[in-house]
Amino acid sequence: MKNFNYHLAKDSKEASKLSSSNSAFLAGGMTTIPSMKLGLASYKDLIDIKNIKKLSGIKVSGKSVTIGATTKHVEVANSKEVKKAIPSLANLAEGIGDPQVRNRGTIGGSVANNDPSADYPSACIALNATIHTNDRKIEASKFFKGMFETALKKGELIEAIEFQIPEKSSYQKHPNPASRYAVVGVYVAKHKKDINVAVTGAKPCVYNDKDLSKALSNSFSSSSIQNMELDSSDMNSDIHASAEYRASLVVTQAKKAVDAC
Amino acid sequence: MRKVTLEINGNKVEKEVQDNTLLSTFLRDHLNLTGTHIGCDTSQCGACVVHVNGNSLKSCTALAADIDGSKVTTIEGLATNGKMHPMQEAFKKLHGLQCGFCTPGMVMSAVDLLQKNKKPSDTEIRDWLEGNICRCTGYQNIVAAVKEAATKM
């Protein structure tokens, strides 16, 4: 791994000040460090944000669950408050990677990285999340821009993610058996006013499947989407699954999610 | 370069490291604690698992600088007064290894499991060991060893 300067920031202001066009924020490092070791990424400065107290922790109000950016997957998975308010979100966290990844990896890191097969971006879309940064608040629907691309500007730091508590929800994924990344994952959330069907793994970027959500808005039952066939022309195709298989999996996982709601 | 201060297997260690020194490199090359193995070096195989502040972590995917001030336990820190830890004993007794390369990571990961779940089921053991890859045993005896250790810990 190429050398870099390691900095330990004491607050968001300092972290932001230290950042440059050639830096990255370091939280759990579960993607950043392997990427740097493989030479897929290199930075002049790594800015460790784990000591910024304000960035960690879980707060539940009547309508939302707000999770600090450096909160680890294991903390979300084990949180009694999250289990009570949005059980599907704790369940999603429990299914990420392996125990060692969950002990270190953070929600902010996962969301900022926007891996096309990551779990958390689907939760953001399904649960009408708001991404709080050190500069502004961004709606999830405007945050995920494309493969590994987000609306974050250089030096902009995610501080917390606020999820709207749904009436019912479930996340169902077909994991890659080795990495546990989603070949396809579908997060269905029924809110008072709308139904979201957030899909990860199928396309270059997480998306809300309008056809499925429309069908479910008419009748919230798995039979209403039973025979749907999705257009696979813009879906991912790789050694793990063809585009056609992914299109079929989206419907299968969506049905499972609706049944589990 | 920067100075890091860690407690490793109960001993205080102060060393100068490069900013990009990985914890696995630090343990093996700087402290000669070669029980921690490096297998894939891409955070998949789990041969490098150690405990940091009581939780298991893949040491090939953490910077020494990042864990400054922490308590680290490696496989060398499990035995007490020359007596094997119950998990090591169970792996030996039930043939939970063949070539032994993955074993330090398996043992460290399994000890962390039993700290959090005293009586895990077979499924829970297999789920927990998701991040530890063994190419010899087919896992049967590893699972049996973890169950045996659970009765002794």
pLDDT for the residue numbered B43 = 87
- Cα gap A16→A196, rounded to integer Å: 34
> What is the pLDDT averaged over residues A129-133?
98
pTM (2 d.p.): 0.95
Contacts of A97 in chain B (CB under 8 A): 130-131
pLDDT for the residue numbered A236 = 96
Tell me: do B34 and B54 sit in the same domain.
Answer: yes
Confidence of residue A254 (pLDDT cuts 50, 70, 90): very high
Query: What's the full length of chain B, in residues?
Result: 153
Of B20, B55, B27, B127, the closest CA to residue A105 belongs to B55
Q: A29 and B62 in contact by Cβ < 8 A?
A: yes
> What is the pLDDT averaged over residues B131-147?
96
pLDDT for the residue numbered A178 = 81
**Residue to test with chain A: of B43, B116, B127, most A Cβ within 10 A:** B43
Residue B9, exposed/middle/buried by CB under 10 A (0-12, 13-18, 19+)? Answer: middle
Report if residue B17 sits inside a domain.
yes
ipTM of the complex in this document: 0.94
pLDDT for the residue numbered A114 = 97
Q: Is the per-residue pLDDT at B41 higher than 90?
A: no
The CATH number for B46's domain is 3.10.20.30
Q: Tell me what percent of the residues of chain A surpass a pLDDT of 70.
A: 100
The residues with which A133 forms a beta bridge, in sequence order, are: A158
Tell me: do B62 and B117 sit in the same domain.
Answer: no
Which CA distances in Å does B147 have to A8, B110, B112, B142? 41, 10, 13, 9
Tell me: do B6 and B72 sit in the same domain.
Answer: yes
pLDDT for the residue numbered A179 = 81
Task: Write down all domains in chain A, each with its CATH number in brackets.
Answer: 5-164 (3.30.465.10), 168-260 (3.30.390.50)
pLDDT for the residue numbered A163 = 98
pLDDT for the residue numbered B98 = 95
Domain range enclosing B6: 2-76
- Cα gap B61→B71, rounded to integer Å: 17
Contacts of B55 in chain A (CB under 8 A): 74, 103
Task: Dump pLDDT digits (tens) for A69-108.
Answer: 999 999 999 999 999 999 999 999 999 999 999 999 999 9
Nearest CA in chain A to B42: A34
pLDDT for the residue numbered A177 = 84
Tell me: do B11 and B50 sit in the same domain.
Answer: yes
> What is the pLDDT averaged over residues A50-73?
97
Token pair, residue B14, equals 């102060």
Exposure letters A204-226 (e unless 16+ CB within 10 A, then b): ebbbbbeebbebbeeebebebbe
Q: A101 and B43 in contact by Cβ < 8 A?
A: yes
pLDDT for the residue numbered B42 = 86
